[in-house]
Amino acid sequence: MALLTIAIFWLSIVPTELFASQAAVIAVKMVISWGFLVLVPALAATGGSGFALAKGRRGGVIGAKLKRMPLIVTNGLLGLIPAALFLVSKARAAEFDTVFYAVQALELVVGAANMTLLDLNLRDGLRMKGRLHRQPA
């Protein structure tokens, strides 16, 4: 759910910023800020499921998943959420200036990084459960 939520945010931002009106940009920013009510619990569930699968182990695939989780959480709490809240306030004030677009670019980069990390954790979780097998090289 966390991966899907961030992907929806990301895929909403890009075309809106490139092709839509300022009113549409403001609307997307508002929806995203409310979307944190879904994202934050989804990130918590993602971390919780990883710890549950680990069952106290720390090596191998589990270790990789556990090492990614603090970065995912940090990116979300210190990158995505503050950037989104800043951007919605700038958008509502119709301040589409250099600072707005710099923070928007940063938000997209951090969002892409989180999607990548969440995708890696999803892949590893599926492998741990036996639902995904390694592809031969």
132 versus 42: the higher-pLDDT residue is 42
Q: Is 56 left (phi over 0), alpha (psi -120 to 50) or beta?
A: left
Q: Are 43 and 72 in contact (CB under 8 A)?
A: yes
pLDDT digits (tens, 9 = 90+) for 69-83: 889 989 988 999 999
pLDDT for 129 = 73
Q: Residue ranges per domain, the chain?
A: 2-128
| Encoded amino acid at 133, one letter | H
pLDDT for 126 = 83
Average pLDDT score over residue span 55-66: 78
pLDDT for 137 = 53
Q: What angle do CA 50, 111, 115 make, to 5 degrees?
A: 40
pLDDT for 18 = 92
* Structure-token pair, residue 121: 């954790």
Asked whether the CA dihedral 65, 68, 69, 70 is positive or negative, the reply is positive
Q: What distance in Å separates the CA atoms of residue 59 and residue 78, rounded to the nearest whole number?
A: 28
pLDDT digits (tens, 9 = 90+) for 91-135: 999 999 999 999 999 999 999 999 999 999 888 888 877 766 666
